[in-house]
Amino acid sequence: MTVKVALLGCGNVGSQVARILLEQSDELAARVGAPLELTGIAVRDPEAPREGDLPRDLLTTDAHTLIDGADIVIELMGGLEPAGEYIERALRRGASVVTGNKALLAARLPELTEAANDGGAQLLYEAAVAGAIPILRPIRESLAGDDITKVMGIVNGTTNYILDAMDSSGAQFDEALADAQRLGYAEADPTADVEGHDAAAKAALLASLAFHTTFALENVHCEGITSISAEDVAAAEDAGMVIKLLAIAERGTDAGGGEGISVRVHPTLLPREHPLAAVRGAFNAVFVEAENAGELMFYGQGAGGAPTASAVMGDVVSVGRTRATQAAGASVAEPQPRPSRPLGIEDATTSYALSLDVSDETGVLAEIAGIVARHGVSIETMRQTASAEDGAGSARLRIITHVGREAALAATVADIEQLPVVKAVSSVVRVEGK
Protein backbone atom coordinates (compact mmCIF):
# COMPACT_ATOMS: atom_id res chain seq x y z
CA MET A 1 0.00 0.00 0.00
CA THR A 2 0.96 3.65 -0.42
CA VAL A 3 0.39 6.09 2.47
CA LYS A 4 -0.99 9.34 1.05
CA VAL A 5 0.23 12.50 2.78
CA ALA A 6 -1.37 15.96 2.54
CA LEU A 7 0.58 19.01 3.69
CA LEU A 8 -1.22 22.14 4.88
CA GLY A 9 1.09 25.15 4.82
CA CYS A 10 4.38 25.74 3.04
CA GLY A 11 6.25 28.22 5.15
CA ASN A 12 9.67 27.80 6.73
CA VAL A 13 8.88 24.43 8.33
CA GLY A 14 6.40 23.23 5.71
CA SER A 15 8.85 23.70 2.86
CA GLN A 16 11.44 21.65 4.75
CA VAL A 17 8.92 18.87 5.40
CA ALA A 18 8.01 18.81 1.70
CA ARG A 19 11.69 18.65 0.76
CA ILE A 20 12.28 15.67 3.08
CA LEU A 21 9.22 13.82 1.77
CA LEU A 22 10.34 14.31 -1.83
CA GLU A 23 14.12 13.90 -1.52
CA GLN A 24 14.22 11.08 1.02
CA SER A 25 11.32 9.01 -0.24
CA ASP A 26 13.29 5.75 -0.48
CA GLU A 27 14.71 6.01 3.04
CA LEU A 28 11.29 6.94 4.46
CA ALA A 29 9.62 4.03 2.69
CA ALA A 30 12.14 1.65 4.28
CA ARG A 31 11.46 3.07 7.75
CA VAL A 32 7.68 3.13 7.37
CA GLY A 33 7.28 -0.14 5.54
CA ALA A 34 5.39 1.53 2.69
CA PRO A 35 5.91 4.50 0.35
CA LEU A 36 4.84 7.94 1.56
CA GLU A 37 3.27 9.90 -1.29
CA LEU A 38 2.99 13.67 -0.94
CA THR A 39 -0.30 14.23 -2.76
CA GLY A 40 -0.41 18.01 -2.45
CA ILE A 41 0.35 21.14 -0.48
CA ALA A 42 -2.47 23.51 0.49
CA VAL A 43 -1.43 27.18 0.33
CA ARG A 44 -3.19 30.54 0.14
CA ASP A 45 -1.41 31.65 -3.04
CA PRO A 46 0.24 29.04 -5.29
CA GLU A 47 2.06 31.81 -7.20
CA ALA A 48 3.77 33.36 -4.18
CA PRO A 49 7.59 33.03 -4.10
CA ARG A 50 8.85 30.16 -1.91
CA GLU A 51 12.11 28.72 -0.72
CA GLY A 52 13.22 25.53 -2.43
CA ASP A 53 12.32 24.05 -5.77
CA LEU A 54 8.94 22.45 -5.11
CA PRO A 55 6.88 21.10 -8.02
CA ARG A 56 4.19 23.66 -8.83
CA ASP A 57 1.64 20.95 -9.55
CA LEU A 58 1.64 20.00 -5.86
CA LEU A 59 0.38 23.43 -4.77
CA THR A 60 -3.37 23.94 -4.36
CA THR A 61 -5.86 26.18 -2.62
CA ASP A 62 -8.37 23.32 -2.24
CA ALA A 63 -7.52 22.07 1.23
CA HIS A 64 -10.78 20.13 1.65
CA THR A 65 -10.23 17.87 -1.36
CA LEU A 66 -6.62 17.33 -0.33
CA ILE A 67 -7.65 16.34 3.22
CA ASP A 68 -10.40 14.01 2.03
CA GLY A 69 -7.96 11.97 -0.07
CA ALA A 70 -5.21 11.65 2.56
CA ASP A 71 -4.17 9.01 5.08
CA ILE A 72 -1.98 11.50 6.97
CA VAL A 73 -2.51 15.27 7.17
CA ILE A 74 0.41 17.46 8.25
CA GLU A 75 -0.85 20.83 9.51
CA LEU A 76 1.79 23.58 9.55
CA MET A 77 -0.38 26.60 8.77
CA GLY A 78 -0.53 27.92 12.32
CA GLY A 79 -3.33 29.97 13.83
CA LEU A 80 -6.66 28.81 15.20
CA GLU A 81 -8.71 28.86 12.00
CA PRO A 82 -9.00 27.46 9.41
CA ALA A 83 -6.38 25.09 10.86
CA GLY A 84 -8.76 23.86 13.56
CA GLU A 85 -11.51 23.09 11.06
CA TYR A 86 -9.06 21.26 8.78
CA ILE A 87 -7.62 19.14 11.59
CA GLU A 88 -11.04 18.17 12.92
CA ARG A 89 -12.26 17.30 9.41
CA ALA A 90 -9.24 15.05 8.85
CA LEU A 91 -9.53 13.29 12.22
CA ARG A 92 -13.27 12.63 11.97
CA ARG A 93 -12.88 11.02 8.55
CA GLY A 94 -10.07 8.79 9.86
CA ALA A 95 -6.95 10.57 8.62
CA SER A 96 -4.24 10.89 11.25
CA VAL A 97 -2.87 14.37 11.88
CA VAL A 98 0.63 15.61 12.64
CA THR A 99 0.77 19.25 13.74
CA GLY A 100 3.09 21.79 15.31
CA ASN A 101 0.28 24.20 16.16
CA LYS A 102 0.80 24.79 19.88
CA ALA A 103 -1.73 27.62 20.16
CA LEU A 104 -4.52 25.55 18.63
CA LEU A 105 -3.68 22.49 20.72
CA ALA A 106 -3.60 24.51 23.93
CA ALA A 107 -7.03 25.91 23.08
CA ARG A 108 -8.75 22.78 21.73
CA LEU A 109 -6.84 19.65 22.75
CA PRO A 110 -9.82 17.89 24.43
CA GLU A 111 -12.17 18.24 21.46
CA LEU A 112 -9.50 17.38 18.91
CA THR A 113 -8.62 14.29 20.93
CA GLU A 114 -12.31 13.36 20.93
CA ALA A 115 -12.40 13.80 17.15
CA ALA A 116 -9.37 11.52 16.82
CA ASN A 117 -11.06 8.87 18.95
CA ASP A 118 -14.29 9.14 16.97
CA GLY A 119 -12.43 8.73 13.68
CA GLY A 120 -10.03 6.02 14.87
CA ALA A 121 -7.12 8.31 14.00
CA GLN A 122 -3.95 9.53 15.66
CA LEU A 123 -3.12 13.10 16.68
CA LEU A 124 0.61 13.71 17.18
CA TYR A 125 2.34 17.03 17.93
CA GLU A 126 5.99 16.50 18.87
CA ALA A 127 6.98 19.69 17.02
CA ALA A 128 4.57 21.83 19.07
CA VAL A 129 6.63 22.02 22.25
CA ALA A 130 10.40 22.17 21.77
CA GLY A 131 11.25 22.10 18.08
CA ALA A 132 13.66 19.28 17.30
CA ILE A 133 13.81 17.98 20.87
CA PRO A 134 12.03 14.62 21.24
CA ILE A 135 10.27 15.25 24.54
CA LEU A 136 6.60 14.29 24.10
CA ARG A 137 7.23 10.76 22.89
CA PRO A 138 9.59 9.95 25.81
CA ILE A 139 7.00 11.30 28.26
CA ARG A 140 4.14 9.50 26.56
CA GLU A 141 5.92 6.19 25.95
CA SER A 142 9.32 5.78 27.64
CA LEU A 143 8.11 7.13 31.00
CA ALA A 144 4.62 5.63 30.78
CA GLY A 145 5.45 3.17 33.58
CA ASP A 146 6.92 5.82 35.87
CA ASP A 147 5.40 8.62 37.96
CA ILE A 148 6.51 12.06 36.80
CA THR A 149 6.61 14.59 39.63
CA LYS A 150 7.91 17.70 37.87
CA VAL A 151 8.64 19.03 34.38
CA MET A 152 10.66 22.23 34.08
CA GLY A 153 11.90 23.60 30.80
CA ILE A 154 13.23 26.37 28.61
CA VAL A 155 10.77 26.11 25.72
CA ASN A 156 11.10 29.49 24.01
CA GLY A 157 14.32 30.24 22.16
CA THR A 158 13.67 33.97 21.76
CA THR A 159 13.46 34.68 25.48
CA ASN A 160 16.40 32.41 26.23
CA TYR A 161 18.51 34.27 23.68
CA ILE A 162 17.54 37.63 25.21
CA LEU A 163 18.23 36.58 28.80
CA ASP A 164 21.48 34.89 27.81
CA ALA A 165 22.60 38.05 26.01
CA MET A 166 21.76 40.14 29.08
CA ASP A 167 23.74 37.71 31.24
CA SER A 168 26.83 37.58 29.01
CA SER A 169 27.03 41.25 27.96
CA GLY A 170 25.24 43.21 30.69
CA ALA A 171 22.78 44.60 28.13
CA GLN A 172 19.41 45.98 29.10
CA PHE A 173 16.26 44.14 27.94
CA ASP A 174 15.51 46.53 25.05
CA GLU A 175 19.06 46.24 23.72
CA ALA A 176 19.04 42.44 23.85
CA LEU A 177 15.61 42.31 22.19
CA ALA A 178 16.77 44.57 19.35
CA ASP A 179 19.79 42.31 18.83
CA ALA A 180 17.53 39.23 18.76
CA GLN A 181 15.31 40.89 16.15
CA ARG A 182 18.30 41.85 14.02
CA LEU A 183 19.52 38.24 14.03
CA GLY A 184 16.08 36.79 13.29
CA TYR A 185 15.57 35.17 16.71
CA ALA A 186 12.67 37.51 17.54
CA GLU A 187 9.68 38.63 15.47
CA ALA A 188 8.99 42.27 14.65
CA ASP A 189 6.15 41.94 17.19
CA PRO A 190 7.74 39.81 19.93
CA THR A 191 4.76 39.96 22.31
CA ALA A 192 3.89 36.25 22.22
CA ASP A 193 7.45 35.37 23.17
CA VAL A 194 8.52 38.04 25.65
CA GLU A 195 5.18 38.06 27.51
CA GLY A 196 5.38 34.27 27.95
CA HIS A 197 2.30 33.34 25.88
CA ASP A 198 4.18 30.96 23.58
CA ALA A 199 5.78 29.19 26.54
CA ALA A 200 2.41 29.00 28.34
CA ALA A 201 0.81 27.14 25.43
CA LYS A 202 3.70 24.67 25.47
CA ALA A 203 3.47 24.32 29.26
CA ALA A 204 -0.20 23.32 28.94
CA LEU A 205 0.72 20.58 26.46
CA LEU A 206 3.63 19.31 28.56
CA ALA A 207 1.50 19.21 31.70
CA SER A 208 -1.35 17.44 29.90
CA LEU A 209 0.91 14.61 28.79
CA ALA A 210 3.10 14.39 31.89
CA PHE A 211 0.18 14.28 34.33
CA HIS A 212 -2.53 12.59 32.21
CA THR A 213 -4.97 15.42 32.75
CA THR A 214 -6.03 18.01 30.20
CA PHE A 215 -4.80 21.51 31.08
CA ALA A 216 -6.11 24.51 29.17
CA LEU A 217 -4.22 27.72 28.57
CA GLU A 218 -6.23 29.47 31.29
CA ASN A 219 -4.84 26.94 33.81
CA VAL A 220 -1.32 28.28 33.23
CA HIS A 221 -0.07 31.21 35.30
CA CYS A 222 1.94 33.34 32.88
CA GLU A 223 4.51 36.11 33.38
CA GLY A 224 6.95 37.39 30.76
CA ILE A 225 10.47 38.83 30.90
CA THR A 226 9.85 42.48 30.03
CA SER A 227 10.34 43.55 33.66
CA ILE A 228 13.75 41.89 33.97
CA SER A 229 16.50 44.51 34.09
CA ALA A 230 20.25 44.41 33.69
CA GLU A 231 20.41 45.07 37.44
CA ASP A 232 18.36 41.91 38.12
CA VAL A 233 20.69 39.88 35.91
CA ALA A 234 23.78 41.35 37.61
CA ALA A 235 22.33 40.57 41.05
CA ALA A 236 21.68 37.00 39.91
CA GLU A 237 25.27 36.66 38.77
CA ASP A 238 26.48 38.06 42.07
CA ALA A 239 24.47 35.34 43.85
CA GLY A 240 25.86 32.59 41.61
CA MET A 241 22.62 32.32 39.66
CA VAL A 242 21.15 32.99 36.21
CA ILE A 243 17.64 34.08 35.15
CA LYS A 244 15.69 31.90 32.71
CA LEU A 245 12.07 31.94 31.54
CA LEU A 246 10.83 28.54 32.65
CA ALA A 247 7.70 26.52 31.99
CA ILE A 248 7.02 24.48 35.13
CA ALA A 249 4.45 21.77 35.86
CA GLU A 250 4.61 19.89 39.14
CA ARG A 251 2.57 17.99 41.65
CA GLY A 252 1.51 19.87 44.76
CA THR A 253 -1.26 20.46 47.26
CA ASP A 254 -3.57 23.35 48.01
CA ALA A 255 -3.98 25.02 51.40
CA GLY A 256 -6.46 22.31 52.42
CA GLY A 257 -4.17 19.45 51.49
CA GLY A 258 -5.95 18.57 48.23
CA GLU A 259 -3.64 17.25 45.53
CA GLY A 260 -3.27 18.88 42.14
CA ILE A 261 -0.89 20.15 39.48
CA SER A 262 0.65 23.62 39.38
CA VAL A 263 1.39 24.86 35.84
CA ARG A 264 3.17 28.17 35.44
CA VAL A 265 5.53 30.23 33.27
CA HIS A 266 7.67 32.99 34.74
CA PRO A 267 11.25 34.31 34.99
CA THR A 268 13.17 32.10 37.38
CA LEU A 269 16.51 32.19 39.15
CA LEU A 270 18.55 29.00 38.81
CA PRO A 271 21.89 28.14 40.43
CA ARG A 272 24.59 28.21 37.75
CA GLU A 273 25.37 24.56 38.42
CA HIS A 274 21.84 23.49 37.45
CA PRO A 275 21.75 21.80 34.00
CA LEU A 276 19.17 24.27 32.66
CA ALA A 277 21.40 27.22 33.61
CA ALA A 278 23.91 26.16 30.96
CA VAL A 279 21.39 26.32 28.08
CA ARG A 280 22.65 29.19 25.93
CA GLY A 281 21.39 31.24 23.01
CA ALA A 282 18.17 30.16 21.31
CA PHE A 283 18.43 26.54 22.42
CA ASN A 284 15.70 24.76 24.39
CA ALA A 285 15.84 22.12 27.10
CA VAL A 286 13.34 20.23 29.23
CA PHE A 287 14.22 18.83 32.67
CA VAL A 288 12.06 15.96 33.94
CA GLU A 289 11.92 14.51 37.44
CA ALA A 290 10.33 11.06 37.88
CA GLU A 291 9.96 8.74 40.87
CA ASN A 292 12.08 5.92 39.46
CA ALA A 293 14.04 7.38 36.54
CA GLY A 294 15.22 10.32 38.63
CA GLU A 295 16.37 13.43 36.76
CA LEU A 296 16.44 13.53 32.95
CA MET A 297 17.21 16.39 30.57
CA PHE A 298 16.40 16.76 26.87
CA TYR A 299 18.34 19.45 24.99
CA GLY A 300 18.47 20.76 21.44
CA GLN A 301 17.40 23.36 18.94
CA GLY A 302 13.96 24.68 19.74
CA ALA A 303 13.15 26.40 16.46
CA GLY A 304 14.10 26.67 12.81
CA GLY A 305 12.81 25.04 9.66
CA ALA A 306 14.99 21.96 9.47
CA PRO A 307 15.10 21.14 13.21
CA THR A 308 11.32 21.48 13.57
CA ALA A 309 10.78 19.48 10.39
CA SER A 310 12.78 16.68 12.00
CA ALA A 311 10.25 16.47 14.83
CA VAL A 312 7.35 16.58 12.35
CA MET A 313 8.82 13.76 10.30
CA GLY A 314 9.36 11.64 13.41
CA ASP A 315 5.61 11.77 13.98
CA VAL A 316 4.90 11.15 10.29
CA VAL A 317 7.03 7.99 10.29
CA SER A 318 5.33 6.79 13.49
CA VAL A 319 1.85 7.32 12.04
CA GLY A 320 2.92 5.88 8.69
CA ARG A 321 4.07 2.66 10.33
CA THR A 322 0.68 2.31 11.99
CA ARG A 323 -1.05 2.82 8.65
CA ALA A 324 1.30 0.48 6.82
CA THR A 325 0.75 -2.36 9.27
CA GLN A 326 -3.00 -1.62 9.45
CA ALA A 327 -2.72 -1.40 13.24
CA ALA A 328 -5.51 0.10 15.34
CA GLY A 329 -5.32 3.86 15.14
CA ALA A 330 -6.49 4.95 18.60
CA SER A 331 -5.24 8.39 19.50
CA VAL A 332 -1.99 8.07 21.42
CA ALA A 333 -2.31 11.67 22.58
CA GLU A 334 -5.43 11.13 24.65
CA PRO A 335 -5.01 12.42 28.22
CA GLN A 336 -6.33 9.63 30.43
CA PRO A 337 -8.79 10.63 33.17
CA ARG A 338 -7.08 10.91 36.53
CA PRO A 339 -7.91 12.57 39.85
CA SER A 340 -5.67 15.57 39.21
CA ARG A 341 -6.75 19.16 38.90
CA PRO A 342 -5.10 22.49 38.19
CA LEU A 343 -3.78 24.42 41.16
CA GLY A 344 -3.70 28.21 41.19
CA ILE A 345 -0.43 30.10 41.41
CA GLU A 346 -1.16 30.75 45.11
CA ASP A 347 -0.67 27.02 45.78
CA ALA A 348 2.69 26.73 44.03
CA THR A 349 5.70 26.04 46.24
CA THR A 350 8.77 28.07 45.39
CA SER A 351 11.14 30.58 46.93
CA TYR A 352 11.58 34.30 46.26
CA ALA A 353 14.55 36.51 45.58
CA LEU A 354 13.68 40.06 46.65
CA SER A 355 15.52 43.27 45.91
CA LEU A 356 14.51 46.14 48.22
CA ASP A 357 15.53 49.79 48.41
CA VAL A 358 15.41 50.71 52.12
CA SER A 359 16.39 53.45 54.50
CA ASP A 360 19.87 52.87 55.87
CA GLU A 361 18.98 53.09 59.54
CA THR A 362 18.85 50.98 62.66
CA GLY A 363 15.98 48.52 62.97
CA VAL A 364 15.20 48.05 59.26
CA LEU A 365 16.30 44.42 59.17
CA ALA A 366 14.36 43.65 62.33
CA GLU A 367 11.14 45.11 60.91
CA ILE A 368 11.47 43.11 57.70
CA ALA A 369 12.40 39.93 59.56
CA GLY A 370 9.32 40.36 61.76
CA ILE A 371 6.98 40.50 58.76
CA VAL A 372 8.66 37.48 57.15
CA ALA A 373 8.28 35.46 60.34
CA ARG A 374 4.65 36.51 60.80
CA HIS A 375 3.76 34.92 57.44
CA GLY A 376 5.60 31.69 58.24
CA VAL A 377 8.34 32.40 55.71
CA SER A 378 12.00 31.94 56.53
CA ILE A 379 15.01 33.76 55.11
CA GLU A 380 17.82 31.73 53.56
CA THR A 381 20.22 34.59 52.75
CA MET A 382 20.20 38.36 53.23
CA ARG A 383 22.72 40.84 51.88
CA GLN A 384 22.84 44.63 52.27
CA THR A 385 24.81 47.00 50.03
CA ALA A 386 24.88 50.74 49.48
CA SER A 387 22.22 51.94 47.03
CA ALA A 388 23.75 53.64 44.00
CA GLU A 389 20.42 55.16 42.92
CA ASP A 390 19.31 56.96 46.08
CA GLY A 391 22.68 57.91 47.51
CA ALA A 392 23.45 58.46 51.18
CA GLY A 393 20.87 57.25 53.65
CA SER A 394 19.68 54.41 51.42
CA ALA A 395 20.64 50.78 51.06
CA ARG A 396 19.86 47.91 48.70
CA LEU A 397 18.72 44.76 50.48
CA ARG A 398 18.68 41.41 48.69
CA ILE A 399 16.82 38.51 50.31
CA ILE A 400 16.36 34.91 49.21
CA THR A 401 13.70 32.99 51.10
CA HIS A 402 13.42 29.31 51.80
CA VAL A 403 10.78 27.37 49.88
CA GLY A 404 7.24 28.28 50.84
CA ARG A 405 3.72 28.52 49.50
CA GLU A 406 3.28 31.27 46.91
CA ALA A 407 0.34 32.78 48.82
CA ALA A 408 2.47 33.29 51.93
CA LEU A 409 5.41 34.67 49.95
CA ALA A 410 3.20 37.12 48.04
CA ALA A 411 1.53 38.31 51.25
CA THR A 412 4.96 38.84 52.78
CA VAL A 413 6.04 41.06 49.89
CA ALA A 414 2.77 43.03 50.03
CA ASP A 415 3.28 43.80 53.73
CA ILE A 416 6.97 44.66 53.26
CA GLU A 417 5.98 47.21 50.59
CA GLN A 418 3.87 49.05 53.22
CA LEU A 419 6.76 49.61 55.64
CA PRO A 420 7.80 53.29 55.84
CA VAL A 421 11.46 52.24 55.79
CA VAL A 422 11.02 50.44 52.46
CA LYS A 423 11.30 52.88 49.56
CA ALA A 424 10.65 50.31 46.84
CA VAL A 425 10.52 46.60 46.12
CA SER A 426 12.53 46.82 42.92
CA SER A 427 12.23 43.18 41.87
CA VAL A 428 10.72 39.83 42.89
CA VAL A 429 11.97 36.73 41.03
CA ARG A 430 11.12 33.14 41.90
CA VAL A 431 13.92 30.67 42.56
CA GLU A 432 14.07 26.98 41.55
CA GLY A 433 16.63 24.19 41.53
CA LYS A 434 18.38 24.85 44.83
CA dihedral 395, 396, 401, 407 (to 10 degrees): 100
**Helices 102-119 and 197-210: crossing angle, nearest 10°?**
30
| Phi, psi of 131, deg, nearest 5 | 60, -120
265 strand-pairing partners:
222, 247
Q: Provide the phi-psi class of 402: left if phi over 0, else alpha when psi is between -120 and 50, else beta.
A: beta
- Candidates 82, 16, 13, 72; CA nearest to 44 is 82
Catalytically active residues, by annotation:
202
Residues in the chain: 434
Provide DSSP, 163-178.
HHHHHHH---HHHHHH
- Candidates 424, 375, 371, 428; CA nearest to 404 is 375
Q: How far is CA 375 from CA 253, 257, 379, 430, in A?
A: 18, 18, 12, 17
